[in-house]
Chain A
Amino acid sequence: MNIYVLLKKTFDTEEKIAVQDGRIEDDGAEFIINPYDEYAIEEAIVQRDTHGGEITVVTIGDEDSEKQLRTALAMGADKAVLINTEEDLEEGDQFTTAKILEAYFKDKDADLILAGNVAIDEASGQVGPRLAELIGIPYVTTITSLSIDGADVSIEKDVEGDVEVIETSLPLLVTCQQGLNDPRYPSLPGIMKAKKKPLEELEIDDLDLDEDDVEAKTKTIDIYLPPEKEAGKVLEGDIGDQVRELVSLLKNDKKVL
């Protein structure tokens, strides 16, 4: 099976967010593989180990993205591709990303493409479905179970807590939800092997695209931090009095009861 994983690097979840001149300040920040993409990598490995084939991890990013790709290779992916847009693109949006991936996948004959259901930074969740539509294959988002039998695919999909059982077929794109699996940690031998696995670097030129083809349809005007919350009030006294005070505050001050 010809399996692909779409990967995005994101800020570490513990990272404090700072803003300067309407942009997120990322100097010195720790980056990780988007947590939902880890489910995608793990699932790709499980499916390859069951059905055979090869896993290629694809990311759009900059030089530094190699680190996250190597981690995916250390987990068990076979090949990695970095589409480096650092020099060609200043601003991009989900349209941009999907168009670049469309060009990449044009001649790839993918059986299965896996992605995270959302990236924890910009949280749009658009790129997977957009790409599937552009390359003309079906997609199922937020999956929590995947079983493949020949070309037949049976999926469980999380729908706001309910579970849908879906039948479809390859080729297919899925986006992964928490609960699908437990992503493995890279092993030491895995990390050693990953250093020698192939990592191809492309620019949008190599995909016969130029800047105009992928020009963003939306723009970011400003980024700002939410207003500091006033310090909360920890109530005091007898528990019964605290409860009465709380209910009164909720009813009369905040008007939420």
Chain B
Amino acid sequence: MSDKLLVIGEVRDNDIRNVSFEAIAAAKQISADAEIVGVLLSDNDLASAGEEFIAYGADSVITVTHDNLKNYTSEGYGQVVLEIIDELSPNGIVMGHTSIGKDLTPKIASRLSAGLISDVVDIEKDGEAAVYIRPIYSGKAFEKKAFEDDFTFVTIRPNNIPALEKDVSRSGEVTSKDIDIKDLRTVVKEVMRKASEGVDLSEADVIVAGGRGVKSAEGFKPLYELAEVLGGAVGASRGACDADYCDYALQIGQTGKVVTPDLYIAVGISGAIQHLAGMSNSKVIVAINKDPESNIFNVADYGIVGDLFEVIPLLIEEIKKVKA
């Protein structure tokens, strides 16, 4: 009998997050012939999101629409997911290692008395068994983990396991399910958007990050412009956040976000070890800094020693040229 893996997708502003497609690809890597059942929750109709999940590799999708699923709560989502697990008896679950994934999966794992390997960046096969690779000690080391029993439960870090090619010719059943949600002890009263302008930092392919060297909130403007030209997001070091140049929502590092974009451009960042913890696994790192002794040059693939206010406008022009 083949495996049945649940992939819990995340819908935000009516769009499925990219990491959820990556989770489908991860499920296929865990078990190539597994039946993949997508699960999507929202307070809106999910029929077209369900079709999209199929196009990215799910075999079937269960959608649940309920007013109490407008905002994520561990209790609301937990009740729904546990009921679906109860009905389908899957042998594994895959989800993105996102704010919701981190919050929800330990609860489910605890209820199922299951292991949970979180923040996976790569999957290897040892014969039939999957081996999961995850960063530890803030990316200074990696561990290989496996499950002691037959139940698989992992969250995957965004931007590490590529999603499958979208294939609209795929077909599969999208079933809307009625599940009652009761007795919520936690209620979300309000959501204050701070970080959502532009591209999501944790899923961005390109990040332009500024540090103390940017000198002011005003100084971040060229960084935003560069990020826009690159289709990327803006991040910051703790120093820049502490100095009020930008919101803590942008902070990358040991405290703050851990990111692994394809291209990380560190601007006016000295490269304190706490900052490196949040970005050192980025695929290509560029450092722009006035001080040639800055530690950031030790982790950078390419460095430019110079005044960022001179370098960034030139860089924007040059990138516009090659992108044109």
| A residues whose Cβ falls under 8 Å from a Cβ of B | 11, 13-14, 16-17, 19, 24, 35-36, 93-95, 98, 120-134, 138-142, 158-169, 178-179, 215-226, 229, 232-235, 239-240, 242-244, 246-247, 249-251, 254, 256-257
Contact = CB atoms under 8 A, between A and B. Distances in A.
B145 interface: yes
Interface stretch (B52-60, B103-111, B161-169, B208-216): B103-111
B190 A161 contact: no
A229 B292 CA distance: 19
B263 interface: yes
Contact of A232 (B117, B138, B200, B303): B303
Contacts of A226: 139-142, 281
A125 to B, nearest CB: 5
Nearest to A230: B301
Given A17-B141, A221-B144, A161 B250 contact: yes
B189 A122 contact: no
B98 A24 contact: no
Given A169-B185, A220-B143, A226-B139, A130 B194 contact: no
B106 A133 contact: yes
Given A120-B254, A256-B284, A129 B107 contact: yes
A233 B303 contact: yes
A243 B99 contact: no
A252 to B, nearest CB: 10
A224 B122 CA distance: 14
15 contacts: A24-B137, A95-B114, A120-B137, A124-B116, A134-B110, A164-B188, A217-B147, A218-B147, A219-B145, A235-B302, A235-B304, A239-B306, A240-B314, A243-B311, A247-B318
Contacts of B262: 256
A232 B111 CA distance: 47
A240 B313 CA distance: 10
Q: Which of B274, B283, B322 has the most CB of A within 10 A?
A: B322
Given A161-B250, A240-B314, A232 B194 contact: no
B273 A14 contact: yes
Given A218-B147, A246-B304, A246-B318, 8 more contacts: A16-B140, A161-B249, A217-B114, A217-B148, A217-B151, A243-B315, A257-B319, A257-B323
B128 interface: no
A134 B300 CA distance: 45
Contacts of A13: 138, 254, 273-274, 277
Of A168, A246, A249, A251, chain B has the most CB atoms within 10 Å of the CB of: A246
B322 A257 contact: yes
A123 B138 contact: yes
A142 B249 CA distance: 13
Nearest to B256: A178
Contacts of B98: 160
Contacts of B205: 256
A233 B302 contact: yes
Interface string B187-213: 111111111100011100110000000
B298 interface: yes
B137 A168 contact: no
B89 interface: no
A127 B113 CA distance: 13
Contacts of A93: 115
Contacts of A215: 148
A139 B283 CA distance: 35
Contacts of B254: 13, 35, 120
Contact of A164 (B137, B190, B206): B190
A16 B185 CA distance: 43
Contacts of A216: 115, 148
B71 interface: yes
A239 B190 contact: no
Contacts of B193: 162
A66 B299 CA distance: 36
Closest 6 CB pairs of A and B: A161-B195, A217-B115, A161-B249, A129-B106, A178-B255, A218-B115
A168 B99 contact: no
Nearest to A122: B136
Contacts of A222: 143-144
B113 A246 contact: no
A139 B107 CA distance: 10
Give the interface centre of A36, A94, A134 by most chain B CB atoms within 10 Å. Answer: A94
B102 interface: yes
B146 interface: yes
Nearest to A39: B255
A256 B206 contact: yes
